[in-house]
Amino acid sequence: MNNLNVIIFITFAGNKTFFMKKIVILSTLFIGALAWAQGIKFEDGNFASILAKAKKENKLIFVDAYASWCGPCKLMVKNIFPLKNVGDYYNSHFINAKIDMEKGEGIELAKKYNVKAFPTYLFIDGNGEAIHRTLGYVEEKDFIQFAMDANDPSKRLTSLKQQFEKGEKDPSFLKNLAELTIYNDAEFAEKVLNRYFQVKPTMDAEDAQLLISGIQTTESPLYKIFQDKKTEIVKLFPDDRYEKFNQNFQMSTITKKAYNPDTKTWDDQYFITEAQKFVSKENAEKLLKKLKASRALKNKDIALFEKLTLEVYQDYSKAGSNELNSAAWNFFENITNKTSLEKAVAWAQDSVKKKESFANADTLANLYNKIGDKKNAKMWAEKSIELAKAEGQDSSDTEKLLKSL
């Protein structure tokens, strides 16, 4: 399980008698069925049919854009979607759809609607235009208010953007708009934050985090604000964290300049030369391989992704627990070669050794299952479920795995 889950108003990862047993089981099933009966009812069918229904009934479509590994997505399914008040409002006002953005038609929909974080919630009209959106785990009251805003043309994201373009300078308005757009429309959010920090005289911790989240490269106008307000920021974060953020911005800029998206090629010499201003040559070369591996995976060049990742983690002694878990999970999801998968098992084992969690225990369980080691798969699935309960995480996927073993 990938533990890089995103949660807004962020980050980013989810057992006396036979007669009595039957009563308990039936009661549980009844309660579960009742919960879903009074919660949000999601439509079956493809997106085109849902769009046609919305147009015919003159309703907006509510889309829960999720990913199977996303922890906050699972918590919404467990805690919010089944609630009666939520179901009453959403079912009466919208056509509801639940779409995995990493499978089937969800892949193209994610591109079309610029879904980059999970869960993302979209409101789409009958013409297919997204008119309102937000993301992350949202409590009941706010989740209903969010839907009410979608039904009010003056409060929709499209309307808020128009207000901004007309020159709105209210700080609370600008902050809210930046939070709504920062993970799906970075260019626009950059303009909003630029104005926000012009009209906001002081900076608190939330402001600093918002500023840091909005900076993509050192070429951003927000980077100058980051530099100008260093004195204020280091009062909120330790000085070494400020320098770490600054280094990350510098490296992001170098990466952007080193990669040509049109030709899908890298300028290795430029990257290594510039990166050595901040890290050693050895680390610069390793980082470049990681970036190339990540890009190869994005481009669906699995063979290159596999080759580069194996090279990167030939020595993984210095890699952190989360990094190793992510590498192992990516291999579980994309690699079929047993020898390579056994390498991923070793990474996941070291991840657990460095910091045990439900996520890396789940990764181990899935990897063991994939290479045919059912005994260890069962042991680690049980361990992951135990840790999930202790951490307050959703373990439904791991429970499904355990039942299949």
Q: Which residues are catalytic?
A: 70, 73
What DSSP state is assigned to residue 374? Answer: H
Could you tell me which of 92, 168, 181 has the C-alpha nearest to residue 135? Answer: 181
Q: Is the peptide bond before 119 cis (omega within 30 degrees of 0)?
A: yes
- What are the Cα distances from residue 222, in Å, to 116, 176, 235, 245? 21, 17, 19, 13
Q: Answer whether 180's CB lies under 8 Å from 155's CB.
A: no
Number of C-beta neighbours around residue 397 at 10 A:
18
Number of C-beta neighbours around residue 124 at 10 A:
26
* β-pair partners for 62: 96, 123
Number of C-beta neighbours around residue 303 at 10 A:
10
CA distance 135 to 66: 10
Tokens of 193: 């934050």
Tokens of 248: 């990350």
Dihedral of alpha carbons 44, 50, 53, 54, sign = positive
Could you tell me which of 223, 282, 228, 281 has the C-alpha nearest to residue 247? Answer: 223
Which long-range contacts does 312-315 make (Cβ < 8 Å, 24+ apart)? 312/286, 313/343, 313/347
Tokens of 71: 């922890």
CA distance 378 to 384: 10
Region at 319 (left for phi over 0; alpha for psi -120 to 50; beta for the rest): beta
CA contacts within 13 A on the Cβ side of 167: 0
Task: Identify the residue whose tokens are 């918002």.
Answer: 210
